[in-house]
Amino acid sequence: NDLAAGKAAFDKYTCASCHGADAKTSTMPAYPILAGQHQDYLEHALRSYKRGAAGAPASANTRKNAIMGAMVAQLTPADIKNISAWLASLPSPLAVRK
Amino acid sequence: NDLAAGKAAFDKYTCASCHGADAKTSTMPAYPILAGQHQDYLEHALRSYKRGAAGAPASANTRKNAIMGAMVAQLTPADIKNISAWLASLPSPLAVRK
């Protein structure tokens, strides 16, 4: 995982527009808090949106969402890993989950 | 929103088996932290799993997941609202998101 690359990708793909620069102050309550969430889950979610946007069959483990589908279509597997690692590492309240 | 009913439904449907009794100590990193997440987002996620399990067309805003699809198929709209409200209200680290 490359945390600096993850932050750079988060910025490059303007994720902050919806999720907030700190990834926990989203602009709408329909958008989730990401900071401190598990890396595995975040990677899974991003890959699911990617499958959904790619037209995977309805039987696949996909997420269909117009905004996230368009965003994630641009991401490489490395982007997904690095962004998720960076989000999971953020010193957010969620990160202190013990 | 009925927080007590939300907690009761969380218990009844054994959500804790995967997400932890406190909804933030999940048993696998692939399962998300729920405590303190936005109520709106949680309701949206649950409804998306429900649409996915119900065989909504691939163009719909769905989530396809075998475990969550089976769980959510049992939930009423009131369950979804109450569980989400209870999760959002939990005194978790995520809840202190300012």
- All domains in chain A, ordered by first residue: 3-95 (1.10.760.10)
pLDDT at A27: 86
Residue A98 has pLDDT above 60, yes or no: no
Distance separating alpha carbons of residues A62 and A49, to the nearest angstrom: 6
Give the N- to C-terminal CA distance of chain A in Å, as an integer: 23
Which has more confidence, B69 or A98?
B69
Distance separating alpha carbons of residues B70 and B65, to the nearest angstrom: 8
Distance separating alpha carbons of residues B2 and B5, to the nearest angstrom: 5
- Tell whether A91 is within 8 A of chain B (Cβ): no
To test the contact with chain A by mutation, choose from B44, B62, B94, B96 the residue with the greatest count of A C-beta atoms within 10 A, namely B94
Which candidate, B24, B44, B52, B53, places its Cα nearest to that of B84? Answer: B44
Cβ count within 10 A of residue A23 = 23
pLDDT at B98: 38
Strands, E assignment, B2-75:
none
Residue A57 has pLDDT above 70, yes or no: yes
The shortest CB-CB distance from B38 to any of A29, A38, A57 is to A29
User: What DSSP designation does A28 have?
Assistant: S
Q: Which residues of A touch B92 (CB under 8 A)?
A: 93-94, 97
Q: What is the pLDDT of residues B3-54, one digit of tens each?
A: 999 999 999 999 999 999 999 888 888 899 999 899 999 999 999 999 888 8
**Token pair listed for B15:** 């959500």
pLDDT at A96: 47
Distance separating alpha carbons of residues B91 and B81, to the nearest angstrom: 18
Residue B86 has pLDDT above 90, yes or no: yes
Give ∠ CA B27-B28-B29 in degrees, rounded to 5. 130
